[in-house]
A = this chain, B = another copy of it.
Amino acid sequence: MITVLRIGHRPYRDKRITTHVGLVARAFNADNILIDTKDEKLENNILSVVDRFGGTFQVETGVNWRKILHSWNGKIIHLTMYGEHIDEVFNKITKGVDLLIVVGSEKVRREIYEIADYNIAIGHQPHSEVAALALFLDRYFKGSELKIGFNGKLRIVGSQKGKIVIEKKA
């Protein structure tokens, strides 16, 4: 099981970035996302994608992030450009345990670095937590995540030039 924990979410400023983090978590095969600040609109945005495109992805906002970190039964991965380079640490990640992937906002408290089992950098350049999460999950699932069948009401069929969306009859 893979849970994404988003820390430092500010509903007004971060609404779109956190929505992208949530949609990447779902599309790249995480099981759920927990977000520290209560934000019903964000929950509904993500759940509306789940409703239309399928899968069992879950969202919870307004969680106690400290409690989650301290009670996590598995390994904790913190994605940060200050961490160890993914190429150096990836093979050391314990397999077969539940992962909590922590994705911070601009400022991340020292204690997150301390409690994480692995602080992992998707390169050491500043870029995006959205990209970092996608890259990490893509490496973790070795690309297989891009072929999951979510069995949704809507299904997109790839095409060279157009848009093909198949809608399942209720």
Contacts and interface: CB of A to CB of B under 8 A. Distances in A.
Nearest to A54: B125
| Number of identical protomers | 2
Interface stretch (A16-24, A31-39, A68-76): A16-24
Interface in A123-170: 123-128, 130-131, 133-135, 138, 143, 145-148, 150, 155-165
B85 A158 contact: yes
A54 B131 CA distance: 20
A9 interface: no
Query: Chain A: interface residue count, which band?
Result: 35 or more
B87 A162 contact: no
A53 interface: yes
Nearest to A150: B125
A155 B138 CA distance: 26
**Pairs A-B, 3 closest by C-beta atoms:** A131-B134, A20-B128, A123-B146
9 contacts: A16-B17, A24-B128, A49-B126, A81-B156, A84-B159, A85-B146, A85-B158, A87-B143, A88-B158
